[in-house]
Structure formats: C-alpha cells, structure tokens
C-alpha cells in the first residue's frame, strides 16, 4: 500500500483515541440548570379603565400555578418548558366609578409570589351646577343689559335679497315695503329700548381691492339717524352675506364662505381682506355716532349645515372653522378700532358659530383681543325647533303633553343656557345679548297661550341672568313656518291689534315687570295647560 494513503488513516485513529480517552466516567451536562428560586416578571400592572392585558413570565423549579383573586382578572395557562412558563392575563374594563385592585398569586411548591393589579374607576360625570339666580350686579354686563333691555329685529327688510341676482333689495321679502321714520318712533312708544337692523350687503360691494360699498350705505345711515332720533339703541351688522343660496339647482355660497376658507388659506386671506374693507367703510361712516350705536360683526356664520354636517362633526373640522370665525371676528374688531373717533370705544358684538348657544359656549369660540375691552357676545334662541320655528309642536314646558319628552322642551334648558352665559361672561363683566329669539305665530288659541308663555319665560330668564334680548320680527303674516310678523314695516303699527300686542307685552313683562312676587318661578307656575 502506498505510504501517502496510509498516513491519514493513522492520524484519524489517533484523533479518535485521544477524544475518548479519560472521559468515560463524567456526567453529561443538562441543557439548563434547575433553578432553586422562583422569579416573576412583572410584579405589578396598572390597567387602564377600559381594560387591558399583559403577560406574566415565571421561572420556577417546578411547574407553577397562577390564580387571580378577582373575577374581573382572567389568567390563561401556558406551556411549562425548561423551567419557564408565560401566563397571559386579561383585565376587564371597569364600569364603576371606584378604583379597584387584585392579585395574581404564583405558586411553585413552597415558593409563592404575588403580582399586584390596580385599575382606576370611570371618571365621574361632572354634576351640572344648579342654576342659582344671581343678585343684580353693577358691572358692564349688567349695565348693558339694562341699557339695551328689550329690542326688536326689523327682519326680512334690509337683509332681504334676490337669490337670482344675488343682490340685497330692501323689502324684497315684504312685498316691497320701505321702512319709514314712523316705524322707529312707533317701536319706542311700544316700550322697546333697542332695535337691531339686519343688513345684507350682497350686490352692493365693489371689486377688490377696494371693495367699495355703493349708496346702500347712505340708506343704512338714514335708518340709523331715524333710530337715534327715536331714542333707540341700535345694532347694525353683516347679515346674510354668509348664507347659502339655492340657485339653478344647486347651492351657491356667498362671499363669507367659511367652508371655502377652511379648505384654502388663500380664500381665507381674501375674505379677511374684504371683511376689513367693508367694516372700515361702515365704521368710518358712523365714527362720530354716540354709544347708542353698536356694530355686530356677522349673523349666523356656518358652513350650510348648522353645525350638524360632516365638516363640523370632526374634531379637526370643528376646530378649523371655529378658528376661522375667531380670525374673522378679530379682523372686524381691528378694522373698527383703527378708524378712531367714537369707534375707539364703541361696543362691538360678536357671535359664535351659527350663533348657536351650545357652540358659542364651547372651547372653540374665543373673544377677540380688544384694547378697549368692549366686546359683547351674541347668541340666538329658537329652541325647541319644532315649537319655535316650524310650529309642528303646539305646546312646550312642564305642562306640555307627555309625548313631548325631549329635554329641549323644558324650562330648565333655557335656565341652564342663560346660567352658563352668566357664569362664562356676565359675571366677568362681558355683556351678552340674545341677538334673535322668537316663537312662530299660531292660529289655535291654546297654541298661542303656549307661545306667549315661551316668550315671557325666555324673556324673564334672560333678564334674571343679566342678558338683553331682541325679538325676531319679520313682517310675515299667517301662522307656523317662521311667521314672526308683529308690525307693519312701513307704519310701525301692530299687524294684529290684539295678538301682536300680546306678543310684545309677554316679552315686555319678562324684561320690565318688577316686584318681589314676579319671579322666574312665578312665571313658571302660571304655565298654560292643554
């Protein structure tokens, strides 16, 4: 045999002999050493209130057990291998308001260890404050409420517009009626302290960049003069310029387009430029007028869905639109103050989103910064809708029929709203006014009694909490379907010498009637019955 072939065989044999030699009596080493103690991880767990889960990892010399002390904790058995085992633990949601604790006890022979579990209870709902009726104060808010008292909106007049031409036309919705000086003197004689003149400027504003207002401003100035001569506090505003108009089978948005501004920053910038220009012109025209005149930035700015559309439902959408409205209100204040004269100290009114009380009271609405500290808050009140606006519901309040169970049909709803405005603003010296409130007219005698009761109670409620109010009046005759007519817009006389007078007197009682026996409770106790 060739020697080069034999050498590897010899070396292999030697290697085998060396590897085995002297090791025959040694004990094989196990894959893992058996522990003498037990380890548990984690030893504590803080569960969220909605429930949760975690895993307990155990190393033990013998197969352990795991038992939960409470039935809201579930422990699932695991596989014990190489002295280790994992126990999935599930904690149920805590549907109580109380915090709770539990333990999972791990045992392996004589060894034992506990895993502690804690879980908070649900957050207790904040109990609504009981609306306590405050004593009349003497800050700016109470003084302004006293000054404005009961006012009236001359609606559907200067705010009316032709949807086809998209131009505001005085009296377009009231058979061409034109306001006369006698309207204002008549309002004063009927006990009104104030008047709100809603004004739409569509079709009367020129092109960018000047956005010059045409002779409509002259007509508005004439009305303001008549109101001043009659001794009426007066509010003028920008009204339907933020509305949607149905035209040619679809809705078109007027220039105060908050939906467009929310979608495009450039659109928002353009709108703010127009707001500044328009309010600068209005303010310049009236800069020498006294404190009887108040400017109100807008009416019911919203995206066409009154706060119930998809754009406003989302948290981000709501914040975006509220932020834009806050910007617009700030632009308004800055424009007016910059004109100087009496405008440097003039009282200014601003609404929240859609002028809705709940939206105005939420965290999204913010008062504009004002060096004069003379900004008022406006909200509108037509609640409940089916009773106040459409007339589908014929009764309201604690004496209503039992099938009307919605909380909006209770007196407490209005009391709580007024109380919240009192706590948020009036108590802090910020005036609040119901820029619009009303209940559509009726023909049925009993339904009229409930209408008059609503008007008196809401008026008295506002007065109690330091809030003034402006009845919505639109010259519309008939019943139901937003017919709020009270006066003739050319003469100022009552449309119905009995019924219209009753409407005004119900509101007047709420604001002006005095005496220790005339309280919110006394009004409540005389509610009509079906």
* Alpha carbon distances (Å) from 61 to 30, 88, 252, 257: 14, 20, 78, 74
List, as one string, the DSSP characters of 267-309.
HHHHHHHHHHHHHHHHHHHTTT--TTEEEE--S---SSSTT-S
Per-residue pLDDT of the chain (530 residues; tens, 9 = 90+): 443 334 333 333 333 333 444 444 444 445 568 899 999 999 999 999 999 999 999 999 999 999 999 999 999 999 999 999 999 999 999 999 999 999 999 999 999 999 999 999 998 887 667 788 999 999 999 999 999 999 999 999 999 999 888 899 999 999 999 999 999 999 999 999 999 999 999 999 999 999 999 999 999 999 999 999 999 999 999 999 998 766 666 666 799 999 899 999 999 999 999 999 999 999 999 999 999 999 999 999 998 887 877 778 777 888 899 999 999 999 999 999 999 999 999 999 999 999 999 999 987 999 999 999 999 999 999 999 999 999 999 999 999 986 666 777 899 999 999 999 999 999 999 999 999 999 999 999 999 999 999 999 999 999 999 999 999 999 998 877 899 999 999 999 999 999 999 999 999 999 999 999 999 999 999 999 88
CA distance 492 to 181: 9
CA distance 475 to 489: 7
CA distance 326 to 312: 15
DSSP 485: -
For residue 345 the two structure tokens come to: 């100290």
Per-residue HEC secondary structure of 193-262 comes to CEEEECCCCCCCECCCCCCCECCHHHHHHHHHHHHHHHCCEEEEECCHHHCEEEECCEEEECCCCHHHHH
User: Where is 395: in which H helix or E strand?
Assistant: none
Pairing, β 194-197 against β 150-154: parallel
Domains and CATH numbers, the chain: 39-119 (2.60.40.10), 140-525 (3.20.20.80)
Residue 171 makes CB contacts below 8 A (sequence gap 6+) with 157, 160, 177, 178, 489
Say how many C-beta atoms besides its own lie within 10 A of residue 28's C-beta. 5
Catalytic residue from among 170, 327, 411, 436: 436
Catalytic residue from among 300, 327, 411, 456: 300
CA distance 312 to 320: 9
Q: How far out from the chain centre does Cα 247 lie?
A: 30
For residue 225 the two structure tokens come to: 């003069």
CA distance 296 to 436: 12
Measure the CA dihedral 455/400/423/294, to 10°: -20
CA distance 301 to 257: 9
How confident is the model at residue 403, as a pLDDT?
A: 64
How confident is the model at residue 19, as a pLDDT?
A: 40
Among the listed residues 278, 291, 285, the one whose alpha carbon sits nearest the alpha carbon of residue 348: 291
Tell me whether residue 456 is one of the annotated catalytic residues. no
Measure the CA dihedral 499/504/510/516, to 10°: -80
User: Where is 391: in which H helix or E strand?
Assistant: none
Tell me whether residue 436 is one of the annotated catalytic residues. yes
CA distance 449 to 455: 10
How confident is the model at residue 404, as a pLDDT?
A: 61
């Amino acid at each position: 045999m060739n020697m080069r072939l034999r050498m590897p065989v010899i070396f292999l044999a030697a290697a085998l002999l060396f590897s085995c030699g002297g090791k025959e009596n040694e004990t094989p080493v196990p894959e893992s050493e058996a522990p003498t103690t037990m380890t548990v991880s984690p030893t504590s767990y803080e569960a969220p209130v909605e429930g949760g889960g975690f895993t307990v990892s155990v190393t033990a010399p013998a197969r352990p057990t795991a038992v939960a002390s409470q039935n809201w904790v579930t422990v699932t058995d695991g596989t014990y291998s190489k002295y280790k085992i994992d126990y999935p633990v599930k904690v149920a949601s805590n549907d109580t308001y109380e915090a709770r604790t539990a333990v999972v006890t791990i045992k392996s022979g004589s060894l034992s260890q506990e895993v502690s579990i804690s879980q908070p209870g649900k957050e207790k709902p904040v109990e609504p404050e009981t609306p306590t009726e405050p004593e009349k104060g003497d800050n700016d808010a109470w003084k302004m409420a006293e000054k404005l008292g009961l006012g009236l909106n001359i609606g559907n007049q200067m705010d009316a517009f032709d949807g086809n031409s998209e131009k505001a036309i005085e009296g377009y919705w009231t058979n061409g009626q034109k306001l006369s000086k006698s309207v204002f003197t008549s309002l004063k004689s009927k006990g009104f302290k104030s008047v709100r003149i809603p004004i739409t400027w569509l079709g009367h504003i020129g092109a960018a960049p000047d956005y010059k207002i045409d002779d409509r401003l002259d007509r508005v100035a004439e009305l303001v003069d008549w109101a001043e001569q009659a001794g009426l506090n007066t509010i003028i505003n920008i009204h339907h310029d933020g509305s949607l108009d149905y035209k040619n089978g679809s809705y078109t948005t007027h220039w105060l387009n908050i939906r467009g501004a929310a979608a495009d920053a450039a659109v928002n910038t353009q709108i703010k430029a127009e707001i500044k220009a328009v309010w600068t012109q209005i303010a310049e025209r009236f800069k020498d007028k006294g404190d009887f005149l108040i400017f109100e930035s807008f009416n019911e700015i919203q995206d066409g869905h009154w706060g119930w559309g998809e754009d406003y439902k989302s948290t981000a959408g709501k914040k975006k639109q509220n932020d834009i409205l806050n910007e617009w209100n700030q632009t308004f204040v800055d424009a007016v103050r910059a004109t100087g004269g009496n405008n440097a100290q003039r009282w200014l009114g601003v609404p929240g989103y859609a002028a809705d009380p709940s939206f105005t009271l939420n965290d999204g609405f913010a008062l504009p910064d004002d060096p004069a500290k003379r900004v008022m808050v406006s909200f509108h009140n037509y609640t409940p809708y089916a009773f106040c606006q459409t007339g589908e519901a014929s009764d309201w309040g604690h004496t209503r029929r039992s099938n009307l169970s919605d909380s909006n049909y209770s007196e407490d709803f209005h009391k709580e709203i007024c109380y919240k405005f009192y706590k948020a603003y009036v108590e802090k010296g910020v005036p609040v006014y119901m820029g619009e409130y009303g209940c559509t007219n009726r023909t049925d005698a009993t339904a009229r009694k409930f209408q008059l009761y609503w008007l008196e109670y809401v008026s008295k409620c506002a007065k109690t909490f330091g809030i003034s109010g402006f009845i919505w009046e639109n010259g519309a005759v008939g019943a139901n379907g937003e017919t709020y007519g009270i006066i003739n817009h050319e003469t100022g006389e009552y449309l119905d010498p009995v019924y219209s007078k009753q409407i005004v007197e119900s509101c007047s009682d709420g604001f002006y009637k005095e005496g220790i026996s005339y309280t919110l409770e006394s009004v409540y106790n005389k509610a009509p019955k079906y």
